[in-house]
Amino acid sequence: MYIFKAGVVGAGFMGAEIAQVISFSGLPVVVKDVDPEMLKKAEEHIREIYQGRVDKGKMTQGELRDKMDLIEFTLDYDSFEDADFIIEAVPERMDLKVQVFQDLAKVAPETAIFASNTSALSISEMGHKGGRPERTVGMHFFSPAHVMKLVEIIPGLDTTQEVVDDTVQFTESLRKIAVVVKECPGFLVNRLLAPYLGEAMMALQEGAATAGEIDEAMVEFGMPMGPFTLLDFMGIDVSAHAGAYMTSEYGPRFESPEILKRLVAAGRFGEKTGGGFYGYGDASDAPVKEMIAQIQASGIARGPFTVERLVYPMINEAAMIAQENIASIPDIDMAMIAGTGMSYQGERVGPLAIADEIGLDVVLAGLEEMLHEPWGGERFRPSLLLKTKVRAGHLGKKSERGFHEHMAW
């Protein structure tokens, strides 16, 4: 499929970022929003990204103008009548996304591909309710899109293979890494981050360590930023919304910690509101400390903070994803490298490669120990694939076989 023009619906941060990525590839793109102020901010944000390249000597002012000329900002759908590929980036609500696709179906060509930048919601449901299930696909960019290389491609049950192939090709034309993932709540990277972030918050509210101490330990382990810095960057409200959805789909093992719920209730959504787990500007983190004290006073079981407490559940979830054939083992690791920048012992590797380094038997023993702790429970129950590999003697590098094959030198 030849793509001559693209569209983006939703001019928030991610919509603006996606539009910039598309224009940078040399493709015309139309950006729609219902709010003129959002369109203005989107244009300013895109211009800032390009100006940054000019300031670094990577682009001239003339090239900046040429790239900006490729972008049209609009309040209506009229300019979508000749768009070949359209990405919705509206807030994470199914009703809003469905409405966008229904509106687009009235004006966009029959051959147009409708893509959703959702981070967790059902593509099959969007396609069914939106009216064009065969040509609807998930296309999940990571923030900030002009920096992060990964894009998850998620076919719905009715998405044609042609649409999947065209979406992968389009993604690669944007100089991004495409990973095709079977549909499941949270898809791949966010599903893996959920237990990692959840366990960090549990350790914090139990008083096992401070946010700063946990962040420092996880950066030392190999994460590009600590869990609380990441949560504040992503948005506490966004994380809470995603957590509620994943809990409704997967059950209690994804239940949001009490501290997250209290931060949302207090309006501390992270950097964008000046306060989340940390305080920004004149804001303080004193209210968070008070919340933690109140949670502890309620009599919750208190466990220790260890790096393993955060990493092993992420490895376990990765094993579940492989077991469910959501994605291949190489793609799981590659997605976490490209989507989060994680590393281990100075090497850029994903969670299943890390498990091979540690030893699958060691990871299994750690999960089983935490499963039976008073502060632990079902969220640490080992996956069948992990247990099966250990029973078969596939322990990782030390046995030359684990999640990956390893050569003996």
Return all residues near 218 (Cβ < 8 A) that are at least 6 apart: 200, 226, 227, 307, 310
**Given this model, what pLDDT does residue 284 score?**
86
SS3 168: helix
Q: Which residues pair with 344 in a beta bridge?
A: 347
E-strand spans in 288-332? none
**Using CA atoms in the order 96, 99, 100, 103, what is the torsion angle rounded to 10 degrees?**
-160
Closest C-alpha to 211, from 278, 266, 274: 278
CATH of domain 307-399: 1.10.1040.10
Confidence class for position 221, pLDDT limits 50, 70, 90: very high
Q: Do domains 6-180 and 307-399 have the same CATH topology?
A: no
Judge contact between 171 and 162, C-beta under 8 A: no
Residues 170-186 have pLDDT tens digits of: 999 999 999 999 999 99
Contacts of 321 (CB under 8 A, 6+ apart): 184, 188, 191, 192, 327, 332
CB count, 10 Å around CB of 248?
10
Give the C-alpha distances (Å, rounded to integers) separating 163 from 52, 90, 115, 155, 350: 34, 22, 10, 9, 28
State pLDDT tens for residues 86-110.
999 999 899 999 999 999 999 999 9
Peptide bond into 144 cis (omega under 30): yes
Entry pTM? 0.92
pLDDT single digits (tens) 16-25: 999 999 999 9
- Which residue type, as a one-letter code, is found at position 382? P
DSSP state of 146: T
Which residue did the predictor score with more confidence, 143 or 384?
384
Residue 408 has what pLDDT? 64
The third-level CATH classification (topology) of the domain covering 6-180 is: Rossmann fold (3.40.50)
Rounded-to-integer distance, Cα 205 and Cα 346, Å: 30
Q: Is 3.40.190.80 the CATH number for 189-297?
A: no
- Hey, where are the domains in the chain? 6-180, 189-297, 307-399
Looking at residue 301, its pLDDT comes to 87
- Residue 282: the pLDDT is 83
- Residues marked active site are found at 140
pLDDT at 409: 58
The gap between the terminal CA atoms of the chain, to the nearest Å, is 46
Angle at 134 between CA 128 and CA 136, to 5 degrees: 70
Q: In this predicted model, what pLDDT tens digit does every residue of 319-358 receive, in sequence order?
A: 999 999 999 999 999 999 999 999 999 999 999 999 999 9
pLDDT band at 1 (very low <50, low <70, confident <90, very high): confident
**pLDDT (tens digit, 9 = 90+) per residue, 305-314?**
999 999 999 9
Q: At residue 153, what are phi and psi to the nearest 5 degrees?
A: -105, 120
